[in-house]
Structures are given as C-alpha cells and as structure tokens.
Copies of this chain bind each other. A is one copy, B any other.
Amino acid sequence: MSEATVSRVLNGVGPVKEDTRKRVMEAAQQLNYVPSALAQRFALRKSGNLGVILPFLPKVNLFSTYYFSEVLSGIGITAKQRGYDLLLLFREPDEPKDYVNLFRTQKVDGCIILGAQDVPSERAVLDELQQGQYPFCLINQRFDGKTFNTVDADHRMGSFEAVKHLANQGCKRILFLNGPSVYSNSLDRLEGYRQGLAEMKLPYDSSMVLVGNYSRKSGYNLSEAIAWLIKEGRIDAVIAANDRMAIGLLQGLRELGLQVGKDVALMGCDDSDGARLTDPPLSSIQVPFYEVGCMAASNLLDVIAESEHRSFEIKLPVKVVVRASSAAENFSEA
C-alpha cells in the first residue's frame, strides 16, 4: 500500500475504495500511527496556527484579566472547532512590534490583535500587514480612516443607554470618567454619553468629563475631586468608562464618607467579575466578550479559508445591567 493512499485515506480526500480505506485505518490503529502535523503543515505551507497578540501588561493590569480570559476562550474554542491551533504571543515593552514577520516566518496563518492603540507606530505596522495581504483582525479597536478587520462592541450605544437609565432614575447631572483616547472605545463611549445627554435634555459642559487610565488607582485618585463635586451638588451621577475605575472611585468615595447608590449613582462598563463584588454591587454595561472572540476567530478563519479579500467590521450589542449602585429606590434624589 502506497504512501499516497494512506494520505488520501487519513485526509478523506480523493477517491478511495471502501475496502482499502478500512485496511488503512486498521493498520494505522495497529501501528498506533498518527501523522506529523509538523510535516503536514510544512508540505502544505500552512502553519495551522492562529496567532493572538496580547498587549504588554505591566504589574498593575490596566486591562482586566476578565476581558482577556473571555475573549481568549471565544477565540480558542472557535479556532479549535475549525482545526486551528492558538499561538499566544506576548508583547514586551521595548521590542518592536514586527507583526509581519510572524507571517513571513510562517508561524501563523492569521492573527488577532488585542489591546491595540491608535498611535502612529501601531498604525504603521497594521498598514504594513494590510499591504502584505496578511489576514488579521483587531478586537475592540477601530482606526479612523482605515478599513481593518474589526470586531467591536457597540460602546457608543452602551453609554447612550447608561445615560438614559440614569436619567430615568432621576439623575440630572452626570459626570463621565473616560479612559485614554488612544483607545477607540473611549471615544465611542464619550460620543454615546453626549448623545445620551442630548436625548434626555440634560446639561453638558466640558468640566463634566474627567479622564483616567482605566486602572483602579486612577479612579481612586479622582475620588477627592469627584466627592467635592457631589457635595457641592454639581453632579449626582457618574459613569466610568470601565469597571476598574468605577470600583476605585467607589472605594475612594466611601473613604470620604459618601455612599454610592445613595449620595451618587455610579455605573461602570464591561460588567466584569468585580462589579458583583463591590458594596453596593456596581451597575455596568455588559459586553459579550466571549462572543467577540468567537466572531473575530470565525470571520478571520473564513477570510483565510476563502483567501478572498473581503473585509469585515462587526459591532456587537451591549446591555445595561442595573445593580444597587444606580437603583432609584436607593438614592436621595429619586
């Protein structure tokens, strides 16, 4: 029996007589034979790997581990179903981001980039990828003026709905604690916030937007300033652009003698694990991170399989999750 026949049987391609098929299968069983993925992939000139690029996470995680685990699981499960392996790539602070070499060395057939920032160096590298026709997909980050493949959540709608929710609870002056604008998230959320204020006919001025860096500490550090605004009656609600900042703020406000959910309404974004742990529990915007991961992997693998140059920009819906930190019955204004 020839090598080629065995290959045909094991890959289920080409015409094979049922009888020989059986004999091959039996022999393989007997000899305990499994084909070498290494050799297969070499012969096919395809790595069979989907690369996932993680941003550098300093000791104090600016990104929540929750976010990454969810997205990663989504990608991992989807890739697996489609016969791909997941290559996890950790970025380090100093090193140049030569995503292109990942492809040129044939380590990956496609890659998904997490935590990208809208800065010139990143734009340059992504342009290079696109010019090389290397399949890649960004998660949770858009680049204005570019048509990179993206899977994102509808963050604009999220803060829009958050404002509406707070307004319906009786809040009149809502502060927005945003994150850095290198993340398109931040811009989207800000836009939704302003649209929400307009929709609900609530006042806005630029002093009602503060900026942190998405860390818990940055929320905590702003708590004095925010406590003052609350005590002065200048604001009666806060939306933070992620849960971590909201939690930091909540802890800071408590230390300053203010009760979140009573003296002020508070909402986070992401609906991470932590939102359920605080006292009071934190209202938040639920983002389907797992599905984001699935969509990214699935669409990217489609592109790879079809080797067409279709591109995609997917936006998944989010949902307001109301908990005690913003429930009307709790706070004085209502």
- Interface residues, chain A, with chain B CB atoms under 8 Å away: 34-39, 41-42, 45, 47, 49, 52, 54, 57, 61, 65-66, 68-69, 72-73, 76-77, 80, 85-90, 92, 101, 104-107, 216, 247, 251, 254, 273-274, 276-279
Contact = CB atoms under 8 A, between A and B. Distances in A.
Contacts of A68: 65, 69
Given A42-B39, A274-B277, A76 B105 contact: no
Nearest to A243: B277
Contact of A106 (B36, B45, B47): B36
B86 A87 contact: yes
Contacts of A65: 65-66, 68-69, 273
B76 A90 contact: yes
Given A39-B106, A65-B66, A279-B279, 14 more contacts: A37-B107, A38-B107, A54-B76, A65-B65, A76-B88, A77-B92, A86-B87, A86-B88, A86-B89, A87-B87, A88-B88, A247-B277, A251-B277, A278-B278
A298 to B, nearest CB: 15
B86 A34 contact: no
Contacts of A54: 76
Nearest to A103: B34
Q: How many copies of this chain are found per oligomer? A: 2
Contact of A90 (B57, B77, B105): B77
Contacts of A45: 38
B273 A254 contact: no
Nearest to A43: B42
Contacts of A34: 101, 104-105
Of A69, A106, A251, A277, most buried by chain B (CB within 10 Å of CB) is A277
Contact of A80 (B77, B90, B216, B279): B90
Contacts of A90: 73, 76-77, 80, 86
Contacts of A247: 277
B37 A105 contact: yes
19 contacts: A34-B101, A37-B107, A38-B41, A39-B106, A52-B88, A54-B76, A65-B65, A65-B66, A65-B68, A68-B69, A72-B88, A76-B90, A85-B87, A87-B87, A87-B88, A247-B277, A254-B279, A277-B278, A279-B279
Contacts of A36: 105-106
A187 to B, nearest CB: 27
A44 to B, nearest CB: 9
